[in-house]
Amino acid sequence: MAYAWKKWFPPSLAQMKKINVRFDSWDPKAKGVKGFLFQVSNNRLLKSNPKCVVEQTLVSDCSPPVVEFTFKNDQKWVFPCSGRTDNEILMEMSLQSERLQNSVGLGEEEDMIDEEDEEAAAAGGKK
């Protein structure tokens, strides 16, 4: 059940310009961030946007793990990840990318509504 979200929100770096992962390597709550970094560095995921820069910053000041996302429109989003799993971080990244794509229209493909769906919506939801 932990992987059920991948059917609806497949991870993609299409909207990303840069991902900076900061964590203390000795922090036990950074386990999810380490897994996230491993998954984001995967060649299959990097193929979704070869221009996306993935950086890691190791700190030794006992600060909580944080992932900073920079989107294509230079909007930044800082996500605190203390105690989260790698799949939770991937899901949040996908959700935030989807929200941004839908609100700003950053996608390469425009969302198109069929004429039939428009007529059905105008008729009260019945086809």
Domains and CATH numbers, the chain: 16-106 (3.40.30.10)
User: How many other C-beta atoms can be found within 10 angstroms of the C-beta atom of residue 70?
Assistant: 16
Q: What is the pLDDT along the chain (127 residues), one digit of tens a residue?
A: 344 544 556 788 888 999 999 999 898 999 999 999 999 998 888 898 999 999 999 999 889 999 999 999 899 999 999 989 999 999 899 888 888 878 765 444 333 334 444 455 555 554 4
Q: Which of 40, 33, 34 is CA-nearest to residue 54?
A: 40
Distance CA 104, CA 60 (A): 37
